[in-house]
Structure 1
Amino acid sequence: MELTIAICDDDKTHVEIIKEYINRTTIDYEPKIIEAYSGEELLELTKNMHIDVIFLDIEMKQLNGIETGKRIREMYEDTMIIFLTGYKNYALEAFQLESFQYIIKPITYEKFCDLIQKICTRFKEKEAYSSINKTFSFKIKEGIVRLKYEDIYYFERQGKKIYVSTQVGNYEFVDTLKSIEESLDKNIFLRCHQGFIVNIDKLSNIKDNQLMLSGIEQSIPISRKYKKDILYALEKKLFY
């Protein structure tokens, strides 16, 4: 599984050090590294991208790390923020933002290895919690939306946005079907078309290459590429 990690520091040398540490360390996830050299740049990147972990410098020009962290926390309450600084006097503010760690520079590779293992442990705990509670989360203009798996009918790609149909309302948000497919439990959700992912538990029938879901009248197209998987899922639902 992919772990999206952002490094934000106005000193490129510090960014390169953290990036090199990440690449040297063996972890259980595939790291996707995002670089930003100001708080403003990081916030721009997070508009359309959920970031799992942020290494965030505090002393930066214009928008400092504390203010950047506040804005990140308003958008994503589950992002792990690790503050990196040469000063101790921001610790209280970092604590109030529920930061994961507050580290005084310079950080050695040995300390970083300990830190990255703690991050992975926390991430596994989040995954376990998510699997038990079976929810899917995404960001819209008004904030974070969390949907129970059992409430979701299907996801549909509409241009650069994703439309999700649910029992509790319909939503649009920016993401890709590929990213969504990778994050969902494949025992519950299946790709049935280049532009659709459906909840297997909602399957009721197939008619003329159209998929019928319990609870809604709209039919969902099935492409030849995915039809075999959908038929198998429907058979399991009906006969097992």
Structure 2
Amino acid sequence: MKIHTLIVDDDPHWRLVFEKFAGVNPLIEVVGSCDSAVEAYGLLMEKEIDLLICDIEMPEMSGLEFVKSLKSPPLVIFVTAHRDYALDCYEVAPIDFLLKPSDLPRFLKAIEKVRLHLDTAPETSAISPYFFIRDSNGYVQVRYNDILYMEAKNNTIHIVAKDDTYTPTLTLSKLEEKLKSDIFLRVHRSFLVHREAIARINKNEIVLTDGTEIPIGDQYRNKINQKHIESYRVLRG
């Protein structure tokens, strides 16, 4: 199997770097290297592309705008010199982010994610929804299904997952808007919970599968009843 790869970056230095990195992995076949989204679009129309290694900050059209414009984009690894794009890119579900200056081991790790995805049988290849959170070393991928709840504290969110806790600096409302998903249920002005993590709903609190108790806000009580109880209730107690 060859991973037909297109590299898009307006910086010739980084195009050369990624071409050299790609040459180390025998699975990768670079079928094009271009400096703009316009040129890349033309190559996508002409060639079969499995993977797009794409810079985000480019003139005329950003890498993010370019990928969003594609009806059926290939797998995408975004490249950026800035750390603040991860949440904005969740809609296009990139395989990974590479933070400049990137090195060969980190590049090969991203390619391994691509290989694993392409090796997955079509009937099981659907990716569980996820988003990226910035940390000191780059970006951490957080799967929706690993999250138990999210709590707003001052200007920070505590995203409590099964094995870790993340604290990005943004508001809960902003995150809720970005996620645009029924997977999470707003139960209090300071709490979003994963609906599948709910074990019990009491009068004033929700009990999660790990035993955590989350308060129910008065203004959210009716919404919880309508969205999470009434639609799934089978038997009356």
TM superposition score normalised by structure 2 = 0.50
Match of 2:66 among 101, 118, 141: 118
Alignment-mate amino acid for residue 220 of structure 1: I
Match of 2:14 in 1: 93
Match of 1:218 in 2: 212
- The CA deviation at 1:82 is 6.2
- The CA deviation at 1:167 is 0.8
Match of 1:102 among 35, 55, 62: 35
Partners of 1:220 and 1:180 in 2: how far apart? 19
Query: Where does structure 2 lack aligned partners over 5 or more consecutive residues?
Result: 1-7, 20-32, 37-58, 77-90, 95-125
- The CA deviation at 1:117 is 6.7
Partners of 1:210 and 1:189 in 2: how far apart? 16
Q: Is the 8 A contact 2:128 2:145 kept in 1?
A: no
Match of 2:3 in 1: none
- The CA deviation at 1:137 is 1.6
Partners of 2:223 and 2:68 in 1: how far apart? 33
Q: Cα–Cα, structure 1 residues 82 and 191, in superposed 2: closer, same or farther, change >3 Å?
A: farther
Partners of 1:175 and 1:97 in 2: how far apart? 32
Match of 2:51 in 1: none
- The CA deviation at 1:234 is 2.8
Match of 2:174 in 1: 179
CA-to-aligned-CA distance 1:116-145 (integer Å, 9 cap, x gap): 973432598473547843112211224312
Partners of 2:218 and 2:207 in 1: how far apart? 16
Q: Cα–Cα, structure 1 residues 95 and 230, in superposed 2: closer, same or farther, change >3 Å?
A: farther
Q: CA RMSD in A?
A: 3.7
Alignment-mate amino acid for residue 169 of structure 1: D
- The CA deviation at 1:200 is 0.9
Match of 2:5 in 1: none
Partners of 1:195 and 1:202 in 2: how far apart? 17
Alignment-mate amino acid for residue 118 of structure 1: F
- The CA deviation at 1:160 is 1.4
- 2:201 is aligned with 1:206: yes
TM superposition score normalised by structure 1 = 0.49
Q: Would you say how many aligned residue pairs link Structure 1 and Structure 2?
A: 146
Match of 1:5 in 2: none
Match of 1:160 in 2: 155
